[in-house]
Every structure is written in structure tokens, then in C-alpha cells.
């Protein structure tokens, strides 16, 4: 990232499992992942990255910003619900942007909702197309 002048987006989605990925997009050429020295699980079950908890968006942003100060993370709904102008404002000055998207697993989390999993797969794919369109139009330099 240090030599890059473009903005990098990383989409974390349960729809990006290989079986779905092959159906909705070309192979991914490169992804940017923070480099952890140690990834562990605490006694309470919390996943830790370099002794920092990874649960919750704010904790993940802190971890990302240790690796890249100009990083930010969003939930899908928070970035996709606005206009391109809003997205431009949210992304201003950010070089590494993570977007967390969880539709499929959320639909199958309970017996009551698991029948909606197939509908959730379709929704997740539609969401990702919308997200890539929004991000590619709102940023001047981008990689996915």
C-alpha cells in the first residue's frame, strides 16, 4: 500500500464463497489483508489480532488503522444506503476501505429464518453488484 496511489476496497461478504464467487465475478487478482503477527482466540472466545479484539466494527477499524492509517471500515448498509455524493464524502482521504456484508449467514442463523437462505444468496449477489457500482463510480482510483 505504501507505494500505491490508488484506493483499495476489500469486501468481506458471506456471498464471496467460492461457489458464489465463480457465478458473479471474474477471479480476484489481489486482496489487501492486514498482516498480523499473532492471531489468537481469548479464553472468552474472542478472536484477537496482535492482542487486540476483532469483534465489532470499531475494533476492526483500530486494527486496520495500525496497518494503514488512512483505512476505514463500513457495514454494507451504512455505505450503500446513501448517494454517490455521500459515499464520496465518507471515502474522502481513505486509501484502504473494508466493507462488511453479512446477508446469507444472517438469514440462516435460526431455524425460523433458514428457509430464506436461497433468497438471501440472490439478495447478497445483487447487493455486491450495487456496491461495486457505487464504489467504482464514487472513487477516482480503485482496486477490488
Average pLDDT, the chain: 75
Give residue-wise pLDDT tens across range 35-75. Answer: 555 556 777 778 788 888 888 999 999 999 988 899 999 99
In a domain, 56, yes or no: no
In a domain, 122, yes or no: yes
Alpha-carbon span 60 to 54, nearest angstrom: 5
Residue 108: which pLDDT band, with cuts at 50, 70 and 90? low
Q: What is the pLDDT of residue 47?
A: 79
Distances (CA, A) of 21 to 16, 18, 122, 135, 141: 5, 5, 12, 18, 23
In a domain, 91, yes or no: yes
Q: What is the pLDDT of residue 142?
A: 54
Q: What is the pLDDT of residue 32?
A: 45
| Short-list 142, 131, 137, CA closest to 25 | 131
Q: What is the pLDDT of residue 36?
A: 53
The boundaries of the domain holding residue 84 are 7-28+69-139
| Short-list 51, 57, 58, 56, CA closest to 37 | 51
Residue 4: which pLDDT band, with cuts at 50, 70 and 90? low
In a domain, 1, yes or no: no
* pLDDT exceeds cutoff 80 at 2: no
Give residue-wise pLDDT tens across range 82-92. Answer: 777 888 888 88
In a domain, 16, yes or no: yes
Q: What is the pLDDT of residue 34?
A: 54
Provide the domain count of the chain: 1
Amino acid at each position: 500500500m505504501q507505494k500505491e496511489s490508488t484506493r483499495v476496497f476489500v469486501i468481506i461478504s458471506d456471498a464471496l464463497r467460492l461457489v458464489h464467487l465463480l457465478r458473479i465475478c471474474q477471479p480476484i487478482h489481489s486482496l489487501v489483508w492486514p498482516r498480523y503477527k499473532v492471531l489468537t482466540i481469548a479464553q472468552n472466545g474472542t478472536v484477537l489480532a496482535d492482542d487486540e479484539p476483532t469483534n465489532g466494527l470499531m475494533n476492526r477499524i483500530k486494527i486496520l488503522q495500525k496497518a494503514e492509517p488512512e483505512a476505514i471500515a463500513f457495514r454494507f448498509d451504512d455505505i450503500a444506503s446513501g448517494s454517490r455524493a455521500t459515499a464520496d464524502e465518507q471515502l474522502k482521504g481513505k486509501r484502504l476501505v473494508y466493507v462488511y456484508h453479512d446477508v446469507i449467514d444472517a438469514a440462516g442463523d435460526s431455524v425460523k429464518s433458514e428457509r430464506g437462505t436461497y433468497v438471501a444468496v440472490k439478495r447478497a449477489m445483487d447487493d455486491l453488484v450495487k456496491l461495486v457500482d457505487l464504489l467504482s463510480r464514487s472513487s477516482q482510483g480503485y482496486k477490488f
